[in-house]
Structure 1
């Protein structure tokens, strides 16, 4: 390992001209968020991916160049580094099973050799923060491999900056998702002893800021840098702080020494949807304290106004889109993220927190206009087209709990606009003739939406799609969803069927504005 040399008294300010950057791992968690940050900083980006088609869902796809290549197959790297100034290495084989250390080592060697041949000026690599005084043989295989990859890159002949981070806080990060699910789903926990391990988490926005800034490090600088947020916390602290930010009751956490890392990973796999192949190496890495020992990179890449992001603020940012009522469009991949902390549509299904859905779709033997009349006229005196007793009972229960109930009705019997109250819903979005999205205002242990959409379907026909979405809040939210799930076929299934039938009945009748619907 190359020993840190310490920063000069007056570090350079960084690059003044745009750089040509190669990014590996652009379809992954960090890479997918780094690319737009580099573009916004004025740099050009080429993404090295095995299948360029996997980039198509990223909102920045049209702004980058794609090169097909695989770091585990050196022959495919020819030409990918041509004209590149800075190459970002953001790939690893975590979760691929046995042999991943050898795979990672060979891939890093191939990447470094290709970069050296093409005259790349700098490599930037994101590794793992290592515990102080722990021999390599005692590290978890995951951390040991990350350190070995950094050594291989630093020895390849291209100046390499290895940024070492511990837990990264942001929606989509495997470490953060593990923390999220454990805290939200378990109000009482019998936990492994590693909940007392001290960790220095860092917000994903700070990781990206430092990765972008590392592109402008002085020529020839070839070393590791520890990076971390402004706080050192135990895993127990992080769970309690997450609960406080998320509005959950304080968690009862009882650590026990009998859970080995192997058993712990299976426990995490049972409680969370994070795949066991990912959970196990992450859990094994929590055995040792990981706190940064130097702050040298801060001299080269100045902190933003207000300093690095604290833990509570980073959690708040990771939960922001749910609280801003954008979770529905996020899960339908309709809206690109607005900040690095947001979930991406290309993140794994288990990222971004739990989301339950009930989706119903039916062809309708009526024109879209007739179907839309029924959709826009829902609620109030027209009711909800299924199991009236169930809707009335839900309204009464909501009133007893201090909610609004069903008494509000609707402003206009035929037309809706954004912001209208609709029984115990609120119109959140409306696209006339196509989409109505309602946000629940009844008392619930979570957030709920009902989305009704209309599309043309063949000559004179249409298609009705209905989606109920529920984002649970804590264990009570999960319990609520599963307690009402048995009634969904009657309530939501009946609703979709009766709306389709009513639209068919309306076909050929005049609407209130004088037009004839056919």
Structure 2
């Protein structure tokens, strides 16, 4: 099988490209300065890891030996002053070694940019790198993309947070510049297909989705897909890229070092001037993914409780638009968590008995008046309140109604996850789990997780935060106490006579 080298494999695109290459039948080698960062990836056991630094030609020679196609996915975005020189130097070294190693094809993902226009430092660096690689001697395909639509993409996350958190905003005049965004799914398809471009083709290709939109239109379309009210956006001519990036840094969790170059690049209109790539990588049967569909996919999943830092709601795992566990903490949208753990002096069986019996006649083990009042309020606004109770007094199954919750997942003896069906400005889950079940003192872990919808969702969470100690802290203490009593009762019942 052909061998593909992927640099930047722990980054946004690289981490999603590796499984696509494996599915396409490639053997994959990844160059990693910190191999331990590769280990948590689900594909880690299917690839060869070459430990090394892309700035070292000796490391590059080992990594590029015998490679058929090499993906250059390195860019010093957010690296601070001097990033452009580092980009140039690293690209030159890579190009030289790729030529010496007779690599069959180099593929680089660059930035879509206008011709004959003074570019932002970010886009200018991308342009310089593509020229270095194209002049390097190895057959090279450069794919130029603008905003990439997918959870974890820095440009997408910036747009997500701005739209969700600001129902009214003042923006620079470039908010009406035209942009041709593209779904991450289609970017990956082009990257895999670029490996099969004939050896005598060495050039750059513009790649974009099927729609050209202004940044204002993208925010409005995002709001519509996300179920938010139409945003009120005013444009002013005096907001410089630097001021705008500082403003973005205040409003969003995207690090300023990343937000600044992204904002600076928005002063340009970035629209594909040709679509020659289709001659070598034809559109899929259903065509390229449109903006609304790409956003829908990106919003289908939020972070999954089962995988360290990533929540899954429902959908096929591992889709390119999904967040990955190793994405930055600020990727994947806002997720607000109340996480509590405590050791309990009882058996894991007794603790699970109390957890599975929660709700209905047993109640919620904390501030009963508060739960009742919240239930009444929910019913006034058309929600289920607490009236539904539970199907069985002691047992739960996936899909069961439980007061205003729904059982989303259950692993008997270990974990119960409930999804809220009450009226909320967002989505909420409650997960109760038994950890260290073989211990004489198992750990009871309780997590309340909220994915806010827009600014009202953010305000709702912070408004109720002062009561978390009463509600969630009390729930944990009382469940632990009830489990200890349950353990004593079980031990007494098991004694002979």
Instruction: Give the TM bin, normalised by the shorter chain.
Output: over 0.9
1:115 counterpart residue number = 98
CA distance in 1, matches of 2:319, 2:11: 16
CA distance in 1, matches of 2:163, 2:362: 42
CA distance in 2, matches of 1:351, 1:515: 51
Q: 1:457 deviation in Å? A: 6.2
2:47 to 41, 64, 78: 64
1:79 to 62, 66, 70: 62
- Check the 8 A contact 1:367/1:456 in 2, yes or no: no
Scaled by the length of structure 2, the TM-score of the pair is 0.96
Q: 1:480 deviation in Å? A: 0.5
1:54 to 17, 37, 59: 37
CA distance in 2, matches of 1:440, 1:392: 15
Aligned counterparts, 1:300-339, within 5 A = 300-322=280-302, 327-329=304-306, 332-333=309-310, 337-339=317-319
Change in Cα spacing, 1:331 to 1:404, as seen in structure 2 (3 Å) is farther
Which stretch shows the higher mean deviation, 338-347 or 73-82? 73-82
Q: 1:76 deviation in Å? A: 2.3
- Check the 8 A contact 1:46/1:65 in 2, yes or no: yes
Q: 1:456 deviation in Å? A: 3.0
- Check the 8 A contact 2:162/2:251 in 1, yes or no: yes
Aligned counterparts, 1:155-304, within 5 A = 155-304=135-284
- Check the 8 A contact 1:337/1:343 in 2, yes or no: no
Q: 1:329 deviation in Å? A: 3.8
CA distance in 2, matches of 1:397, 1:192: 42
- Check the 8 A contact 2:366/2:474 in 1, yes or no: yes
CA distance in 2, matches of 1:327, 1:21: 30
- RMSD over aligned Cα atoms: 1.7
Q: 1:331 deviation in Å? A: 5.9
2:124 counterpart residue number = 144
Q: 1:132 deviation in Å? A: 3.2
CA distance in 2, matches of 1:422, 1:454: 20
2:17 counterpart residue number = 34
Q: 1:338 deviation in Å? A: 2.6
1:90 counterpart residue number = 73
**Which whole-Å deviations, capped at 9, do the CAs of 1:188-247 have from their partners, x for residues lacking one?**
111111111101111101100001000011112111111101111100010000011111
CA distance in 2, matches of 1:459, 1:201: 52
Change in Cα spacing, 1:436 to 1:515, as seen in structure 2 (3 Å) is farther
- Check the 8 A contact 1:203/1:229 in 2, yes or no: yes
1:20 counterpart residue number = 3
CA distance in 2, matches of 1:455, 1:478: 30
- Check the 8 A contact 2:304/2:310 in 1, yes or no: no
1:128 counterpart residue number = 111
- Check the 8 A contact 2:5/2:64 in 1, yes or no: yes
- Check the 8 A contact 2:348/2:438 in 1, yes or no: no
Segments of 5+ residues of structure 2 without an aligned counterpart are none
- Check the 8 A contact 1:328/1:469 in 2, yes or no: no
**Which whole-Å deviations, capped at 9, do the CAs of 1:489-516 have from their partners, x for residues lacking one?**
111001111111111112232399x868
1:435 and 2:415 correspond: yes
**Which whole-Å deviations, capped at 9, do the CAs of 1:372-406 have from their partners, x for residues lacking one?**
11111111111111111110111010011110000
CA distance in 2, matches of 1:133, 1:78: 36
CA distance in 2, matches of 1:234, 1:109: 35
* Residue aligned with 1:259, SS: coil
2:334 to 354, 370, 373: 354
Which stretch shows the higher mean deviation, 448-457 or 471-480? 448-457
CA distance in 2, matches of 1:459, 1:80: 46
* Residue aligned with 1:79, SS: helix
- Check the 8 A contact 1:363/1:457 in 2, yes or no: no
Aligned length: 493
Scaled by the length of structure 1, the TM-score of the pair is 0.93
CA distance in 2, matches of 1:308, 1:332: 30
CA distance in 1, matches of 2:267, 2:136: 31
- Check the 8 A contact 2:33/2:51 in 1, yes or no: yes
1:105 counterpart residue number = 88
Change in Cα spacing, 1:117 to 1:489, as seen in structure 2 (3 Å) is same
- Check the 8 A contact 1:228/1:292 in 2, yes or no: yes
